[in-house]
Amino acid sequence: MTTLIFCWVLFGLCAILILAAGPRLTRNAEIIAAKKGLSDEWVGLILLASITSLPELAAGVSSVTLANAPDIAVGAVFGSCVFNLVMLVVLDFAVRGESVYRQARQAHILSAGFGIMLVGFAGLTMMVGGFGINPSIGHLGVGSFVIIGLYIIATRAIYNYEAKLRESAALEAAKELPEQSLSQAQKTVAYAAIAILIGGSLLPVVGAEIADRMAIGRGFMGTIFVAAATSLPELTVSLAALRQGSVNMAIANLLGSNLFNILILAVEDGLYLKAPLLESASPIHVATAMAAMVMTGVVIAGLLYRPKTRLFRTVGWTSIALFTVYLVNAYIVYLSAS
């Protein structure tokens, strides 16, 4: 019991370290991006999304190397995707006036669409692998190369789409940022990134120990607890962007993180030397991938329909649908672990 308590305390400390480093890292990353002439949406979708996904990357790398737990690695990625989407419920609750889906630009549909492609392909790769269809080159699954290609295509397409808004948005952002040199911002980013990498590397090791001692299943541990803890920077950054009045940056950060999360699977596959990673993970993660696709579809519908109704003046039906799908998925993963 003492060891279990210690594991939970260490798990909490890792989460706190990530939570503390996240805002400093992303705030200074925003300064760097603004000084280099990037738009708010591009900062959120690519720069902030990749930086705030460092815990997922660190957790995944240590899962397939130190902890030898491919289930936690894959579960943390897909779990982080659904957790990022359920964060839109928090944003919808926190925003005042109209629903967050009415305030956001419909351009986010492009990144959401690419998110469905990437998550869907990863889930499909896992599913066909269960039938023995698993083409590979050495220990690397062919699907990992496709994921890398899709990510490059997605970022390039979104970059071109944002080109018309980039100059004016960057100038506006530069006026709002505090006076700070580029070198100072780069140093702060480096220190904060190191802190996030340390916390993220310890999470899966501690998570695997907790899962074994509580007999709750490593897949469930990765999908729920590790995914939630490593998604703390996304939540912190998105809420900070919302407070600054940048709804689009907040949403772009969450949707962009999902794109980067699937790219992480390809990195983890390269480091997991026993077999293709998606072939080695539990097929229950296909359910989480499907949930992420459904939730992204709900977001697209909300951005297109732009509903006015807010239940008790708090959240709209789009957010309620997102939260419902998240709970159903968590329950399914829990039942499979039991």
Q: Residue 125: what pLDDT?
A: 94
Q: How far apart are CA 258 and CA 281, in angstroms?
A: 19
Q: What are the beta bridge partners of residue 311?
A: 315
pTM for this structure?
0.85
| Sequence-separated (6 or more) residues with CB below 8 Å from residue 145 | 137, 266
Place of tokens 């948005």: 169
Report the range out of 72-86, 153-167, 236-250, 286-300 with the highest average pLDDT: 286-300
pLDDT above 70 (res 220) = no
In the chain, % of residues over pLDDT 90:
36
Give burial (CB, 10 Å; 0-12/13-18/19+) of 164.
exposed
**259, 111 contact by CB (below 8 A):** yes
pLDDT in tens, 158-169: 988 877 666 555
User: What fold is seen in the domain 2-174+182-337?
Assistant: A middle domain of Talin 1 (1.20.1420)
DSSP 8-state class, residue 8 = H
Examine the pLDDT at 152 and tell me if it is beyond 60: yes
Question: Are 18 and 9 contacting, i.e. CB atoms less than 8 angstroms apart?
Answer: no
- Averaged pLDDT, 11-19: 85
Q: Quick: pLDDT tens for 226-240.
A: 777 777 788 888 888
pLDDT at 177 over 70: no
The residue type at 245? G
